[in-house]
Amino acid sequence: MISRKTRKLQKAQALVEKFRNKAKTEEAKYRIDEIQLHTSGYAEPGYTDPKSGVIAQGNWNDISKWNEATHSFDKLDTTPGEVAAALEKIGVELEWCDEWVTCCSCQKIVRCEPNSYGWMRSYWETEDGEVECVECTQKDPTSYLEHLEGQNNSAMTIEIDLSEHGYKLVDSKFESGLYGGQAANPKLIAKALEEQNISRFIFVIDHVGQFDMDFSVWIHEEDWKKFDMSKFGQAKTDGPDPAVMMQKGFAALGAAKKPEGEGIVHSTISLDDGSVKVRVVTPEQFVKGISPNDP
């Protein structure tokens, strides 16, 4: 006998094929071809699997093109939105393809983009670039912990009791953010530990807010005997004060000349030195998202 979940999956697959054939543009066809149907469920904490047992992951935006004359987007093909509505009607849960990734072990999906100010990753990427979710990692965190050791640009976001795996807490009062004094710098902290020949340390993100985070650092018991708290307390572990750098940056923005060209003025302030980068981007660039490293 075919299960209810299998019947829903087959119905969803038929709908995807139906709307793929109905699409007016090649871009819409490609977008529908990229839809992924999942039946393993969520590994993301706080999420409940749908009654249908099927989750669809895709780009549900209609195909649009910017109209310079009307300064608005013209819809060229509404098929992606139509297939989304049809899938929802049969009980399929919809998710955006750029917000979720699939665990390589259990095939469950986890968020890769935040949905709140306090969100933290519930997965990690292995050396081979594969995703391992929180549930699989907690069963055996050995590789995850090895991956984090000695890194100053990676931190633990999956809940694991490090004391049960041979690590000891150095300090849990580090703060990094945009408020005055929140200048704790993992690179400087790591340097202070490495100067004591300590390499088996792990950073842990303990709390995330809208503009700041709290983090701690742990040392494996094998390196603990080398650790001198007095020397560590005297070492430089703070970078530039973010509030001071923001003030410097806003002052520079006030004096900056507006760049030429039509579009949206986009400004970036560096918290390292208070320098600013001002440029004009098109509405399309702004909608797609702008990286600080973009030219």
For residue range 240-261, list pLDDT tens digits in order.
999 999 999 999 888 888 788 7
pTM of this structure = 0.86
Domain 153-239: give its CATH architecture.
Answer: 2-Layer Sandwich (3.30)
Q: What percent of the chain has pLDDT over 70?
A: 99
Residue 293 scores a pLDDT above 70:
no
CATH 3.30.70 residue ranges in the chain? 153-239
**212-220 sheet: strands from edge to edge:** 167-177, 212-220, 201-208
pLDDT over 70 at 295, yes or no: no
Q: Can you give the pLDDT at residue 294?
A: 65
In sequence order, which residues have a C-beta less than 8 Å from that of residue 263 and are 6 or more positions away? Answer: 280, 281, 282, 283, 285, 286
Give the pLDDT of residue 68.
82
Enumerate residues 6+ apart whose C-beta is below 8 A from 234: none
Identify the weakest region by mean pLDDT among 66-75, 185-194, 218-227, 268-277: 66-75
